Structure 1
């Protein structure tokens, strides 16, 4: 099997256009607050050992139960993540990379290979999940692309997801399309399409740059210029699986 095809199957670019009109009319009627979109709201979340929106958790539970019938134990290792938690991750990485000798600019570039700037993470929405196969022999670092390859511990789960995840509404976010920019491919990161589509549409209307640049506790803030953040928006926020674009 071709390695690229194994990691993530080809994206069906017509997937979104084939959705019924009733889907879209219901979708766009939803409203989300600024705090909700940037991880600062006090949301009602569900799950055991993780947190998701109610409808997302229900869909995930169904997918998890179906996979278990075939001996695959899907486990969420990261779901909802608040603004403050994302900032802790960002700040810790910035400190670590600059201590290793990277410039502030290079440290930020290194961080955004896989990690988001706080206030811009899809994990703020309670719609996205990072998953592993709990049944497999666990590697030292679980969220590594090689773990989902043909000879990786999560290969069986990845094959099952390639075949079934979209039936439950979950789509891989950061594909391995060689023309895609932004975050490196993440074969572990899936998003619940119906809700995240609406949230991304709403997110595009907010001034996220203002939120980021006014946070005096955010390390590396001085290196996040207006032009840098505009490029970040186009490449890291919007250059994703087309099935997840409104």
Structure 2
């Protein structure tokens, strides 16, 4: 499949930071994808159907403000924070720096989430989810003996031909493994290039993010370990 033609002038820092949605197409499900991702996504969905898989989006675009809400609620203990082994962390007992690092395992900083771009999607196969079972988006669901193992095998073989890859396919010492997270590389790469350390730093300085001092003090390390530290190769 040929990659979409790219006009570099269409990629803005506001889009990269999740502060604009003019690059998005809204789907009937009230979820949004980048304009250039809709066609390859729909094409992949149709191909998967031939293998008995109903590809379904669990999460796609998230704005800066939505990501900020998630972050702040985790920092204050309103939302659960888990480690890479899926164990609950008693975050109230941690200092601010340790809180920041704990949250980053599964949640991006607002302004640094790949979901801001409309290129990254959390997916599952709705027809493989057993009745009366809630979707967890946990690694075991996609591994051998998990509900979505058939989906994992299909994606490993086919996703790249539609332009998608797995930025969190492996544990690289940053974000935890996310076998449900796919990214449309032809477009995502341009937003990744737009998102610089100075831009993110200035954005966070002007925000009302919890743990701001600890975040800014550690931002160069965070940027390298949790933002640019992704799996670049095809997952399979």
TM-score class, shorter = 0.7 to 0.9
Q: CA deviation at 1:210?
A: 1.1
Matched, 1:78 2:72: no
Per the alignment, do residues 169 and 206 of structure 1 end up closer, same or farther by CA in structure 2, a change over 3 Å counting?
farther
State whether residues 38 and 124 of structure 1, in contact with CA within 8 Å, keep that contact through their aligned partners in structure 2.
yes
Between stretches 26-35 and 74-83, larger displacement belongs to 26-35
State whether residues 28 and 198 of structure 1, in contact with CA within 8 Å, keep that contact through their aligned partners in structure 2.
no
1:59 alignment counterpart = 40
129, 143, 150: which is aligned to 1:156?
A: 150
Q: Which runs of 5+ in 2 are unaligned?
A: 82-89
1:9 alignment counterpart = none
Q: Please report the RMSD computed on the Cα atoms of aligned residues, expressed in angstroms.
A: 2.3
Question: TM (normalized to structure 1)?
Answer: 0.81
2:214 alignment counterpart = 223
Question: TM (normalized to structure 2)?
Answer: 0.85
83, 101, 110: which is aligned to 2:93?
A: 101
State whether residues 197 and 223 of structure 2, in contact with CA within 8 Å, keep that contact through their aligned partners in structure 1.
no
2:128 alignment counterpart = 136
Q: CA deviation at 1:107?
A: 1.6
Matched, 1:232 2:211: no
SS in 2 for 1:63: helix
Count of residues in Structure 1 that have an aligned counterpart in Structure 2: 218
State whether residues 129 and 135 of structure 2, in contact with CA within 8 Å, keep that contact through their aligned partners in structure 1.
no
Show the 5 A alignment for 1:147-226: 147-176=141-170, 180-204=172-196, 207-215=199-207, 217-226=208-217
Q: Which runs of 5+ in 1 are unaligned?
A: 1-19
1:108-130 CA distance string (max 9 Å, x none): 11110010010000100010000
- How far apart, CA to CA, are the structure 1 residues paired with 2:56 and 2:232? 25
State whether residues 139 and 178 of structure 2, in contact with CA within 8 Å, keep that contact through their aligned partners in structure 1.
yes
State whether residues 25 and 35 of structure 2, in contact with CA within 8 Å, keep that contact through their aligned partners in structure 1.
yes
